[in-house]
Structure 1
Amino acid sequence: MSNKVYIVGAGPGDYGLITLKAVECIKKADVLVYDRLVNPDFLNLKKDNCEVIYVGKESSNHIVPQDQINRILIDKFNDGKAVVRLKGGDPYVFGRGGEEAEALYDEGIEFEVVPGVTSAIGGLCYAGIPVTHRDYSSSFHIVTGHSKKDDQNEINWSSLSKEKGTLIFLMGIGNIGHIVKQLIENGKEPNTPVAFVSWATRHNQKTTLSTLKDARECVEREKIKAPTIFVVGAVVKLADKLNFFEKKPLFGKNIAITRSRAKNSELRKKLEEKGAKVIEIPTIDIKSIESSKVMIKEKIDGINDYDYLAFTSHNSVKYFFDILKFYSFDLRKLANVKLCSIGAATTSELEAKGVLPDITSERFDAVSLAVEISKHSVGKVLFPCSEIAGTALQEYLGNNGFAVDRIEVYSNRVNYSERERVVDILSNSSVDFITFTSSSTFENIVELMGAENISLLEKCKIISIGDITTKTIKSKINNNVFQSKEVSMESMVEKIIELL
Structure 2
Amino acid sequence: MIDPLAALKLPDILPGWVWLVGAGPGDPGLITALGLKAITQADVILHDALVDEALLALAPGEKIYAGKRAGVRSCRQDEISDMLVRLAKEEKRVLRLKGGDPFVFGRGGEEAQALVRACVPFRIVPGITAGIGGLAYAGIPLTHRDTNHAVTFITGHGSDGNLTRLDWDAVSRGAPTLVFYMARKFAGEIADALMGAGRRPDEPAAIVANAARPDQDVRITTLGGLAEAAQTAPALAIIVVGENVALARELAWLAKV
Corresponding residue of 1:208:
219
Which is helix-richer, 1 or 2? 1
Residue 59 of structure 1 deviates from its aligned partner by 3.4
Code of the residue aligned with 2:48 in structure 1: it is D
Deviation at residue 175 of structure 1 after TM alignment: 1.6
- Alignment deviations for residues 423-473 of structure 1 (CA, whole Å, 9 cap, x no partner): xxxxxxxxxxxxxxxxxxxxxxxxxxxxxxxxxxxxxxxxxxxxxxxxxxx
Q: Secondary structure at the match of 2:38?
A: helix
TM-score of the superposed pair, with normalisation by structure 2:
0.91
TM-score (norm 1): 0.48
The letter of the residue matching 1:4 is W
1:237 matched to 2:246? The reply is yes
Q: Does the aligned pair in 1 maintain the 2:26–2:50 contact within 8 Å?
A: yes
1:190 is aligned to 201
> Whole-Å Cα distance in 1 between the matches of residues 191 and 70 of structure 2?
19
Deviation at 1:153, TM superposition (A): 6.4
Q: Distance in 2 between matches of 1:123 and 1:198?
A: 9
CA distance in 2, matches of 1:134, 1:62: 45
Compared CA separation, residues 132 and 225, structure 1 to 2 (3 A): same
How far apart, in 1, do the equivalents of 2:255 and 2:171 lie? 31
Say whether the 8 Å CA contact 2:168–2:197 is kept in structure 1: yes
Give the aligned residue type for 2:53: P
Q: Contact (CA 8 Å) 1:171, 1:227: kept in 2 or not? A: yes
Work out the CA distance in 1 between the residues paired with 2:104 and 2:72: 20
Q: Does 2:253 correspond to 1:247?
A: no
Gaps of 5+ in 1: 249-500
Post-superposition shift, 1:152?
A: 5.0
- Aligned partners of 2:53, 2:242: CA distance in 1, in Å? 33
- Equivalent-residue separation in structure 2 for 1:61 and 1:139 (angstroms): 36
Which residue, out of 27, 31, 35, partners 2:44?
A: 31
Instruction: Find 1:15's aligned residue among 23, 28, 33.
Output: 28
Aligned equivalents of 1:32, 1:132: Cα separation in 2: 35
Cα distance, 1:170–1:62 mapped onto 2, change above 3 Å: farther
SS at match of 1:167: strand
* CA distance 1:60–1:130, change in 2 (3 Å): farther
Q: Which runs of 4+ in 1 moved over 3 A?
A: 59-62, 150-154
Letter in 2 for 1:33: L
Displacement after TM superposition at 1:60 (Å): 6.0
Q: Secondary structure at the match of 1:58?
A: coil
SS in 2 for 1:52: strand
Equivalent residues in 2 for 1:459-470, closer than 5 Å: none
Mapped partners of 1:14, 1:46: distance in 2: 17
Q: Distance in 1 between matches of 2:224 and 2:235?
A: 20
Deviation at residue 226 of structure 1 after TM alignment: 2.0
Structure 2, unmatched stretches of 5+, are 1-12
- 1:52 aligned onto 2:63: yes
Which residue is equivalent to 1:148? 159
Counterpart of 2:3? Answer: none
The answer to whether the Cα contact below 8 Å between 1:59 and 1:171 also exists between their aligned partners in 2 is: no
* Residue in 2 that maps onto 1:225: 234
Using the TM superposition, give the Cα deviation of residue 176 of structure 1 relative to its aligned residue in structure 2, in angstroms. Answer: 1.5
Report if aligned partners of 1:13, 1:88 keep a CA contact under 8 Å in 2.
yes
The answer on 1:87 being equivalent to 2:98 is yes
1:150 Cα offset (Å): 4.3
CA distance in 2: counterparts of 1:118 and 1:153, whole angstroms: 20
**Whose radius of gyration is greater, 1 or 2?**
1
Q: CA deviation at 1:225?
A: 2.3
Q: Secondary structure at the match of 1:57?
A: coil
| Percent identical | 41
Alpha-carbon separation, structure 2, partners of 1:98 and 1:198: 25
Distance in 2 (alpha carbons) for counterparts of 1:233 and 1:215? 12
CA change 1:201–1:232 in 2 (3 A) is same
Matched residues, number: 244
Q: Do the aligned partners of 1:127 and 1:246 also contact (CA within 8 Å) in 2?
A: no
Aligned counterpart, 1:173: 184
Give the Cα separation in 2 of the matches to 1:172 and 1:87. Answer: 19
CA–CA separation in structure 1 for the residues paired with 2:184 and 2:163: 15
Indicate conservation of the 8 Å contact 1:6/1:84, yes or no. Answer: yes
1:164 offset after TM fit, Å? Answer: 4.8
Q: Distance in 2 between matches of 1:172 and 1:142?
A: 12
Q: Distance in 2 between matches of 1:191 and 1:210?
A: 9
Structure 1 residue 10, shift from structure 2 partner: 0.4
Distance between the aligned counterparts of 1:95 and 1:130, measured in 2?
A: 23
Is the alpha carbon distance of 1:125 and 1:54 closer, same or farther for their aligned partners in structure 2, counting shifts above 3 Å? Answer: same
What does residue 341 of structure 1 align with?
Answer: none
What residue number does 1:102 align with? 113
SS class of match (1:194): strand
Structure 1's 68 and 149: CA in aligned 2 closer, same or farther, altered over 3 A?
Answer: same
Distance 2:115 2:212 in 1: 31
Between 1 and 2, higher relative CO (CA 8 Å, sep ≥ 6) is seen in 2
Give the Å deviation of 1:133. 0.6
CA contact (8 A) 2:157 2:164 kept: no
